[in-house]
A and B are shown apart, each in its own frame.
Chain A
Amino acid sequence: DAGVIQSPRHEVTEMGQEVTLRCKPISGHDYLFWYRQTMMRGLELLIYFNNNVPIDDSGMPEDRFSAKMPNASFSTLKIQPSEPRDSAVYFCASSLTSYNEQFFGPGTRLTVL
C-alpha cells in the first residue's frame, strides 16, 4: 500500500488567498483525520471523518476552515481566506477503526505571507 498521500507538500501563498490541501487515505481505512502542527501548540486535531461523514469538527479554528470527504479515497481541507497565523504543517491521517493506530501522511507545509 502506498500509505497516506497528501498534496501539495509545500504551499506558499499570500494572505487572503484560498488554500486547498488534499489527502488520499489508505485504502480500506474508515477513519480520516486532519491535524495541524505548530511549535507553539503541538499536534492538534482539526476534524475527523468516519465513512466519509464528518464526526467532530470542534478543532476547526474558525469558519475560514472547511473540510470535505466526497468519497472514501479523497478529502480536502480548505482555508479561505488564509492568514499568516495559519502557517503550519497540516497532516492527514487514517485508521482502520477508531481505536486502531493512525497512519500519517507526509504533511503539507503551509506558509501564508
Chain B
Amino acid sequence: QKEVEQNSGPLSVPEGAIASLNCTYSDRVSQSFFWYRQYSGKSPELIMSIYSNGDKEDGRFTAQLNKASQYVSLLIRDSQPSDSATYLCAVTGGGGAQKLVFGQGTRLTINP
C-alpha cells in the first residue's frame, strides 16, 4: 500500500463548480498535512496546510482532515480555469519522523 494515495485523474470540472480532491494516507500518527498546486513545468506551490481534525478555509479553498479515517481533502469553490493544475497531497510522519511524503498528484482541468 502506498503511503499517500490520490486519484491521478484527470478530474474535469466546469467553471464555477466545486472541485473536490481526495487523499488517503497510511501512517496513523501523521501530524501535518499539506496541499500543493503544481502547474506544468513549474515547482510545487503550497496552497493549504492543516494540522487538526475538521475544516480549514482560505478564500476559495477548504481543506478537510479526518484523522480517524486517515483522509484529507481539498475543495475548490467557484473553480476558475486558472485552477487547472496538478494538486499534490503531502503528509509528514509521526513519531518524530520528519519526511514529507507526496502522493502522485491529481490532475485537475477546469472547463470554461
Contacts and interface: CB of A to CB of B under 8 A. Distances in A.
Interface residues of A, number: 20
Contacts of B34: 101-102
B14 interface: no
Contacts, number: 45
Interface residues of B, number: 22
Contacts of B92: 98-99
A74 interface: no
Given A99-B92, A101-B34, A104-B45, A48 B98 contact: yes
B38 to A, nearest CB: 9
A105 interface: yes
A103 B98 contact: no
B100 interface: yes
B83 to A, nearest CB: 19
20 contacts: A42-B103, A43-B105, A48-B98, A55-B98, A56-B98, A56-B99, A91-B44, A98-B92, A99-B32, A99-B51, A101-B34, A101-B46, A101-B49, A102-B90, A102-B100, A103-B46, A104-B43, A104-B45, A106-B42, A106-B43
